[in-house]
Amino acid sequence: MDLRLLPSFLAVVEEQHFGRAAARLFLSPPAVTQHIRRLESELGTPLLHRNPVRPTAAGLRLAEHARTLLAAADAAVEDVHEAVRREREATARPLRVGIMGHGSAEITPAAVNAYRRARPEVPVEVIQLNFTEHVSALVEDRVDLAFIRPMPDDDRLVGDVLLTEQRIVVVPGSAPLADARTEGVRVADLADLPIFRVPDHTPAIFKDYLYFHNEAARRGRSIALFPQEVLTGVLTGHGAGSGLRSFARYYNWPGAVFVPVLDAPPESSHLAARAHDPNPEVAIFRALATTLARELAPRINNMPLP
């Protein structure tokens, strides 16, 4: 039996009229009539009385089976589609987004959430990067994108400037520099400031950024890989920290004082990716992030230090 004929038969049984059944199915009355005749021919018995239109005894029995068969067919199709969807979700490679520190401030979560809304079928994995990984995580294919600073001079990578900010240092409230939290300091004032250390394998460009290109500043007693370790070292007297202005909002720990460095060149945070990455999801994420950055960056830069 051709199951495609059953909707026409059920429509006639329920409407008790060939014309209304045809309109309900968006078919012509002759097409519906032909479907009924084919069913009656296949089964070898009349299924409908024509005047008035009502099912025969055989038609009543077939209507019961037809509803069960069509419901089962619909359920089978839905079940197959669900299996395909689950298989795709299970095998889909997530978009891996690395974030060093707080990334590009408010732009970072805005970009991740915008991508999730735009591409709900693609899983997103957020990976925290330490200060040594803003090149290696991408080159070693551990992440697909990375919110980093500063942008390394590496032909293997490409980057988008998202946010350019004033530099700051973070010191304990008991430090002499803490008194300059309002008026700020100059790079020359940092000559005796023991900024925390990073491992030797940290990229040189990050070390230069961290220490304001000042070799004498590399004297902190503790090694830090994450911002939380910087703050712990600052508050326990093991060193001072440096960063971008938005660092103060994300890591405003009691006892930590954030002091602007007036004459340090502003520094940018970037969204970096592998050069010539063929993954279209990388391009989509970059486009969303740069669009959001144009909207949010002016507002972020006007936020006061806490």
- Residue 116 included in any domain: yes
pLDDT at 88: 64
**Tally of domains within the chain:** 3
- Residue 108 included in any domain: yes
Statement to judge: residues 171 and 158 lie in one domain: no
pLDDT at 194: 87
* Tens of pLDDT, residue by residue, the chain (306 residues): 888 899 999 999 999 999 999 999 899 999 999 999 999 899 999 999 988 999 999 989 999 998 998 899 889 999 898 877 766 655 578 999 999 999 999 999 999 999 999 999 999 999 999 999 989 999 999 999 999 999 999 999 999 999 999 999 999 999 999 999 999 999 999 988 888 888 889 998 999 999 888 766 666 667 889 999 999 999 998 889 999 999 999 999 999 999 999 999 999 999 999 999 999 999 999 999 999 999 999 999 999 888
Statement to judge: residues 246 and 294 lie in one domain: no
- Residue 37 included in any domain: yes
Statement to judge: residues 147 and 273 lie in one domain: yes
Statement to judge: residues 158 and 171 lie in one domain: no
Statement to judge: residues 171 and 152 lie in one domain: no
Question: Is the pTM higher than 0.85?
Answer: no
For 296, the domain range is 95-163+268-301
Statement to judge: residues 288 and 158 lie in one domain: yes
Statement to judge: residues 137 and 284 lie in one domain: yes
- Residue 202 included in any domain: yes
- Residue 306 included in any domain: no
Assign residue 100 the CATH number of its domain: 3.40.190.10
Statement to judge: residues 84 and 39 lie in one domain: yes
The residue among 89, 106, 130 that closes a domain is: 89
The residue among 89, 123, 149 that closes a domain is: 89
- Residue 274 included in any domain: yes
As a three-state string, the secondary structure of the chain is CCHHHHHHHHHHHHHCCHHHHHHHHCCCHHHHHHHHHHHHHHHCCCCEEECCEEECHHHHHHHHHHHHHHHHHHHHHHHHHHHHHHHHHHHCCCEEEEEECCCCCCHHHHHHHHHHHHCCCCCEEEEEECCCCCCHHHHCCCCCEEEECCCCCCCCEEEEEEEEECEEEEEECCCHHHHHCCCCECHHHHCCCCECECCCCCCHHHHHHHCCCCHHHCCCCCECCCHHHHHHHHHCCCCEEEEECCHHHHCCCCCEEEEEECCCCCEEEEEEEECCCCCHHHHHHHHHHHHHHHHHHHHHHCCCCC
Assign residue 24 the CATH number of its domain: 1.10.10.10
Statement to judge: residues 272 and 159 lie in one domain: yes
Statement to judge: residues 138 and 153 lie in one domain: yes
pLDDT at 217: 62
Statement to judge: residues 240 and 294 lie in one domain: no
The residue among 57, 89, 121 that closes a domain is: 89
pLDDT at 52: 93
Statement to judge: residues 159 and 284 lie in one domain: yes
